[in-house]
Homo-oligomer: A and B are copies of this chain.
Amino acid sequence: MSMIVNRRDLDFLMYEVFDLDRLLATTRYGDYDREVVTAVLDTAQTIAEDKFLPCAAKLDANEPTFDGEQVHIIPEVKEALDAYREAGFFSAPFDEKLGGMQMPFMVSSALGGIFTCANIGIAGYPFLTQANANMLEAYGNEEQKNLYLPPMLEGRWYGTMCLSEPQAGSSLSDIRTKAVEDGEGRYLITGTKMWISGGDQNISENIVHMVLARIPGGPAGVKGLSLFIVPKIRVNTDGSLGENNNIALAGLNHKMGHRGTTNALLNFGENGACHGTLIGEPHKGLSYMFHMMNEARTAVGSGAVMSGLAGYLYSLDYARNRPQGRHPHEKDPESPQVMIIEHADVKRMLMAQKAYVEGGLSLVTYCAGLIDKQAVADDDTDKARLGLLLDILTPIAKSWPSEFCLEANKHAIQILGGYGYTREYPVERFYRDNRLNHIHEGTYAIHGIDLLGRKVRMKGGAALHALEQVIQQTMNEAREVDRLSGYANELGAAFEELKNTAIIVAGTDNINLMLANATAYLDAFGHVVVAWLWLKQGFAANKGLEEDSGEADFYEGKLAACRFFFRYELPSVYTSFALVASLDDTCMTMNSEQFTGQ
């Protein structure tokens, strides 16, 4: 069993649940069929297992260092990224006309997941580069694209995103970095950026920063932010590298996990002119950034799933091979010990991991499929509908795996017991890595506010309605299947509560109170969405069983996980929805002194 991917599950999701075949039949993805997809994923798995996985623990224990002059990273990282680059994977999701592989996003997302599961610290670099290039492709002008896209798609230059500053993390309206036109169409960038993943390194030939900054005289707040390309080394008009662009590394952050990707504090233009070029129009920087953020956020969710998956596969393997203890009914101390997978609570923890991890994987795979469907849709109404689904599911895809796949990692440690708590085993590392995901790309609370304050109400509830339609379709199908019809009804009831709660909350005109319990709403909404996706998986598994494929274990396992989710997980949403609907103000009205009495 591979420790970084269950290929059978990937195939199940892509072909049996989310109908990748239909996408492969379109002109856009004409170069791909099942065989090609399999070959691509085989290559990815081989590189991930040979180059990414073996150095994951070493990279965690030997994080990048900065000697005041230069960043040092263990050499295995560059070797791994060289192999990744040589396979052409930097360009996987990009159009052929740009030199890309034009891979369905569902496949490139699976591919990225395999590398992330193997070594999240290394996988961060290509992920950020692709996100950067993606934004440039959408909003850059021809000159910018010609100059920057090819080396990024070839994996010679890496990309970053520079939003946060020491005083402005979640509060982007307080960004202070300045960009002043120099009279020659260039901008001089000055300011400090914080938490920049991949912000400096010694691997790529150049680093292309996407920087949010203010052009003086613009509006206050987020409406005055513009977006700039700011390379570490200046780029001549022929694409060759020029002078150093005066971006100083002020220091690396030392994180609990995610230690493999450098995370930097950068000073722009502190010791000389730092040149940037404006992307698109002035003051529209945040909207451009948000274009990329939907994908970046789903990718954060995918990262959380992959840390969860790594722990699930490892702890499953351990539980299958570690003898310890006996069943409660066995009173003979001289009877042989059983493998710990025989213990009910170990099974429960494995089942919870399966339900969270494979549920989360289905969520991010579905979102990736929506992006593909948008790319091939020729009907504007349908395109808009797919966009609405993405809008409402993005906060879920980012947040739900962050919370529940972290919980999965907690279970993985528990299954290994004392061993799991040591650094000799990888599961504690996955747990440390995963804790980041509540924080970056919008904190957990911000996604709750986004969901309850904006997404469920946007366009007269159109996004919520679009979601209801697809859920309804799954319920209708599942009602025809004996072993699933009860779950279909339970899902319908939970979705009604989800809607009613949104309506009740919208009824107050105190916006602070309306959003006071938005996080509880986000959690419960996520559970309803994942219950739906488990029902969808259950339906596909039942179909697979009926077709008598000889894979009864796989399909029965899926149906059991579906049952687990409906019995052990979904019922909790009623408590949460009731709390949110009660507009409870216990926390909101607490004053600072009351917490400790001083």
The chain A residues found within 8 Å of chain B, CB to CB, are 1, 6, 8-9, 164, 167-171, 173-174, 194-195, 220-223, 253-257, 313, 316, 320, 323-329, 333-334, 337, 339, 341, 343-348, 350-351, 354, 410, 413-414, 417-418, 420-424, 428, 431-432, 435-436, 438-440, 443-445, 448-449, 453, 511-512, 514-520, 551, 553-557, 560, 563-564, 567-568, 571-572, 574-575, 578-579, 582, 584, 586-598
Contact = CB atoms under 8 A, between A and B. Distances in A.
Contacts of A341: 592
A587 B516 contact: no
B567 A571 contact: no
A252 to B, nearest CB: 10
B333 A170 contact: no
A15 to B, nearest CB: 15
Given A414-B439, A572-B572, A256 B432 contact: yes
B345 A1 contact: no
Contact of A169 (B418, B519, B594): B418
A402 to B, nearest CB: 10
Nearest to A563: B586
Contacts of A168: 324
B421 A351 contact: no
A320 to B, nearest CB: 6
A415 to B, nearest CB: 10
A484 to B, nearest CB: 15
B418 A594 contact: no
B597 A557 contact: yes
Contacts of A592: 320, 339, 341
B584 A333 contact: no
A579 B586 contact: no
22 contacts: A1-B596, A9-B596, A167-B324, A171-B326, A171-B337, A253-B418, A256-B422, A256-B432, A316-B595, A316-B596, A320-B592, A341-B592, A345-B516, A345-B519, A348-B519, A348-B587, A410-B438, A564-B586, A564-B587, A567-B582, A568-B584, A575-B575
Which 5 pairs of residues, A with B, have the shortest CB-CB distance?
Answer: A221-B333, A554-B597, A557-B594, A345-B445, A256-B428
Nearest to A169: B417
B595 A350 contact: yes
Contacts of A351: 586-587, 590, 595
A195 B557 contact: no
A443 B421 contact: no
Contact of A421 (B420, B436, B511, B514): B436
Contacts of A414: 438-439, 443-444
Nearest to A574: B575
B348 A421 contact: no
Contacts of A584: 567-568
A157 to B, nearest CB: 26
Contacts of A170: 324-325, 417
A582 to B, nearest CB: 8
Contacts of A9: 596-597
A574 B571 CA distance: 10
Contacts of A221: 333-334
A598 B1 contact: yes
Nearest to A221: B333
Given A424-B254, A563-B586, A328 B596 contact: no
Nearest to A219: B333
Contacts of A586: 351, 560, 563-564, 567-568
A440 B419 CA distance: 11
B588 A347 contact: yes
A343 B448 CA distance: 13
